[in-house]
């Protein structure tokens, strides 16, 4: 076998081991930020350059067109062209386009762009409140069933303990009606493409032989997200051969609601006992301090044990904060973001705030707008979401001279607003929350503006949510949307029981997957990580905080901005003494502890043990004012150890 060192240049030992394994079954267990795309592109390039396979005989399967494009781009940079890189759906469609007509003498049906148009009138016939459920939730449930290869006839019997977004009998009615209408139109949806390819290959063995004759080696990225339908298609492509390389991280399986299952990755070695298994654990994204937090969850994530090791230099200590309420939480986030921007020169675009469901973006949007901090919502801003958008559209058509409050109440009632609802579906939780917020916004507006002016109200909404800029500002997005992304600073607010793990109505999210969501959130951060949770009312900290070995502290209720910080991953006698000094000094001064010194500053003081004012002044976060105010006391604490 030829070995071109330039193709393997820059790989660490584990990546090189994977790249050299050009034949036979290979499982690359790639932890977060460990360079999996680099590894598989170099491995594919080495397969070609070593003579193991011609480029035209290799099929690389990804989950997005963007990922497929990136793979091709990187292969081209390594001097390799001709490798087929596609999504499962794109590969299936290409094969159907080439083989269907010649083997069946039938025309291939056209593909639907979206399910919603076929679902809309079916959903409108549902009884309240189900008729108002976002169509995306119903489409998602159909996809869940089809990805598991469950047709309508077996839906009730085979859904197990899975809870659909509406009662199962009603969901079956939607599923049957959708399939009937699609058949009448002679159309396919994306799941049908894979199912139709399976039918073709099973009914016409010569068709699958053509695919196997063309592709001899397969690479599948994000293998932890493969669903039964995709796995079945991969089995047809592979046949009795074993030149398959799978890449994935079971710790990041967060899409089981689509039908994905980590079992395909976890069971790979059982299926191929002779498989070569390579673990990628050297992390190129995050600081040692961030990885220390992530690794604390690892023993509880199950599957293949992976301990991430940092290659980046040490960074600030991640901080967790218990706060009195949501207002204090947003205040702490905004203050920290301003400090990151002004003192640490972190671009706003390199900062992300993650939340569990879309409904949580609205108060953040308003807080950022009020603070004048630009932001961008990756999952749909408040005024663009189904509830508020429908309210504004109907309001413009049917205000009918009513007061704003009355008009909003009437429109939201028509849209199925139910203050006592406890929806199961995430999207309906968001929609009900948004409808409620529209009503409260109307009341707030009227209390300040005595004149009922609809145009002024709409303008006020635009102003209150006005600092969202396209691709600019702080990123607001869900944990699911954040997967595959990375940021210099990550904020994980609202870490309370019922939010993470999430619960709503009858729906209780799988705590195992919810823990993986938190792991994904933590590992998005390069240098700065902030975890916060409000303690007002009956809110309890997320049980996952205990697993991170944090000691949740009760904040003082003297003021809405009072926050007590809990340092993650840093201790020692001097650090503890400094924190105790800071607590007393903050109490004396009547200010929050972080106003005296941030934990990262105390951690650096404890590490460097300054002997005089000059030493102390050299530490980040100790400016002239704080030096004048606190230097003698801090130096006395250090000297006493």
**pLDDT range class, residue 375, cuts 50, 70, 90:** confident
Residue 218 pairs in a beta bridge with: 59, 244
Q: What is the pLDDT of residues 95-141, one digit of tens each?
A: 998 898 888 878 888 888 889 889 988 998 988 778 888 888 899 99
pLDDT band at 421 (very low <50, low <70, confident <90, very high): confident
- Does 3.40.50.300 match the CATH number of domain 286-381+466-564? yes
pLDDT (mean) for 567-582:
75
pLDDT at 558 over 50: no
Structural domain boundaries in the chain: 5-98+193-280, 113-188, 286-381+466-564, 382-464, 570-641
86: left (phi > 0), else alpha (psi -120 to 50), else beta? beta
Distance of alpha carbon 28 from alpha carbon 269, whole angstroms: 11
pLDDT tens, position by position, 302-349: 888 899 999 999 989 898 888 888 889 999 999 999 999 999 999 999
User: Could you count the other beta carbons within 10 Å of the beta carbon of residue 588?
Assistant: 9
* Of 214-223, 500-509, 519-528, the least confident: 500-509
Task: Output the pLDDT for position 575.
Answer: 87
pLDDT digits (tens, 9 = 90+) for 27-82: 999 999 999 999 999 999 999 998 999 999 999 999 888 999 999 999 999 999 99
**Class in CATH terms, 570-641:** mainly alpha
In the chain, the percentage of residues whose pLDDT exceeds 90 is 47
Which residues are CB-neighbours of 510 under 8 A, at least 6 positions away? 256, 501
- Confidence check: pLDDT of 569 > 60: no
Distance (Å, rounded) from C-alpha 179 to C-alpha 156?
16
Q: Give 113-188's CATH code, choosing from 1.10.10, 1.20.120, 2.40.170, 2.60.40.
A: 1.10.10
User: Selecting from 2.60.40.10, 3.40.50.300, 1.10.3720.10, 3.90.660.10, what CATH number does the domain 5-98+193-280 have?
Assistant: 3.40.50.300
What distance in Å separates the CA atoms of residue 489 and residue 348, rounded to the nearest whole number? Answer: 9
Residue 460, pLDDT above cutoff 50: yes
Averaged pLDDT, 148-177: 92
pTM of this prediction? Answer: 0.77
Provide, rounded to the nearest whole percent, the portion of the chain with pLDDT above 70. 92
Instruction: State mean pLDDT over 388-401.
Output: 75
User: Average pLDDT, stretch 230-236?
Assistant: 95
Answer whether residue 552 shows pLDDT above 50. Answer: no
Output the CA torsion sign for 213, 216, 220, 225: positive
Q: Strand pairing partners for 567?
A: 319
- The pLDDT assigned to 607 comes to 84
Neighbours of 106 (CB within 10 A): 8
Look over the chain and give the mean of its residue pLDDT values, rounded to a whole number: 86
Query: Does residue 594 have a pLDDT over 70?
Result: no
Same fold? 5-98+193-280, 570-641: no
């Amino acid at each position: 076998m030829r070995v071109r060192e330039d193709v393997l240049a820059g790989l660490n030992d584990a990546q090189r081991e994977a790249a050299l394994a050009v034949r036979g079954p290979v499982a690359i267990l790639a932890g977060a930020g460990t360079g999996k795309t680099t590894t598989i592109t170099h491995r594919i390039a080495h397969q070609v350059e070593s003579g193991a396979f011609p480029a035209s005989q290799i099929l690389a399967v990804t989950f997005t067109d963007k990922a497929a494009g990136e793979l091709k781009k990187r292969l081209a940079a390594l001097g390799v062209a001709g490798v087929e890189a596609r999504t499962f759906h794109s590969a299936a469609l290409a094969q159907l386009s080439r083989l269907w007509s010649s083997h069946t003498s039938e025309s291939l049906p056209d593909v639907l762009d979206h399910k919603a148009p076929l679902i809309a009138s079916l959903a409108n016939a549902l009884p309240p409140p189900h008729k108002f459920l976002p169509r995306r939730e119903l489409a998602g449930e159909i996809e869940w069933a089809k990805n598991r290869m469950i047709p309508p006839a077996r839906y009730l019997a085979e859904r197990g303990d899975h809870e659909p977004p509406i009662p199962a009998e009603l969901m079956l009615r939607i599923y049957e009606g959708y399939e009937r209408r699609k058949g009448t139109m002679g159309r396919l949806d994306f799941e049908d493409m894979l199912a139709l390819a399976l039918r073709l290959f099973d009914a016409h063995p010569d068709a699958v032989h053509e695919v196997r004759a063309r592709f001899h080696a397969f690479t599948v990225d994000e293998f932890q997200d493969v669903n039964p339908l995709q796995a079945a298609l991969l089995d047809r492509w592979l046949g009795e051969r074993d030149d398959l390389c799978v890449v994935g991280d079971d710790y990041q399986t967060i899409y089981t609601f689509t039908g994905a299952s980590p079992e395909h990755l976890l069971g790979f070695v059982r299926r191929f006992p002779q498989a070569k298994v390579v673990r990628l654990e050297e992390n190129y994204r995050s600081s040692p301090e961030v990885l220390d937090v992530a690794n604390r969850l690892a023993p509880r994530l199950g599957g293949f044990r992976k301990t991430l090791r940092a290659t980046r230099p040490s960074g600030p200590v991640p901080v967790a904060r218990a706060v009195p309420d949501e207002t204090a939480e947003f205040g702490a986030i905004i203050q920290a973001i301003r400090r990151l921007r002004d003192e640490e020169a972190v671009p706003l675009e390199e900062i992300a705030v993650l939340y569990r469901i879309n409904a949580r973006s609205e108060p953040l949007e308003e807080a950022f707008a009020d603070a004048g901090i630009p932001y961008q919502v990756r999952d749909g801003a408040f005024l663009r979401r189904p509830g508020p958008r429908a309210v504004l559209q109907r309001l413009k058509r049917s205000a009918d001279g009513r007061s704003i409050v009355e008009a909003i109440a009437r429109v939201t009632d028509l849209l199925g607003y139910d203050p006592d609802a406890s929806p199961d579906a995430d999207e309906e939780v968001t929609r009900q929350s948004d409808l409620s917020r529209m009503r409260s916004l109307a009341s707030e507006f009227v209390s300040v503006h005595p004149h009922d002016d609809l145009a002024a109200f709409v303008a006020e909404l635009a102003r209150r949510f006005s600092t969202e800029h396209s691709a600019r500002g702080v990123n607001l997005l869900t944990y699911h949307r954040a997967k595959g992304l990375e940021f210099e600073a990550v904020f994980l607010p609202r870490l309370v029981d019922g939010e993470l793990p999430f619960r709503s109505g009858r729906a209780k999210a799988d705590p195992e997957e919810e823990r993986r969501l938190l792991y994904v959130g933590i590992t998005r951060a390069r240098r700065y990580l902030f975890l916060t949770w409000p303690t007002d009312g009956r809110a309890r900290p997320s049980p996952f905080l205990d697993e991170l070995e944090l000691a949740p502290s009760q904040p003082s209720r003297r003021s809405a901005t009072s926050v007590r910080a809990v340092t993650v991953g840093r201790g020692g006698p001097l650090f503890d003494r400094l924190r105790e000094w800071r607590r007393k000094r903050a109490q004396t001064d009547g200010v929050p502890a972080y106003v005296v010194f941030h934990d990262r500053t105390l951690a650096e003081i404890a590490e460097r043990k300054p002997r005089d004012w000059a030493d102390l002044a050299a530490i980040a976060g100790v400016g002239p004012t704080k030096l004048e105010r606190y230097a003698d006391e801090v130096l006395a604490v250090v000297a006493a150890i």
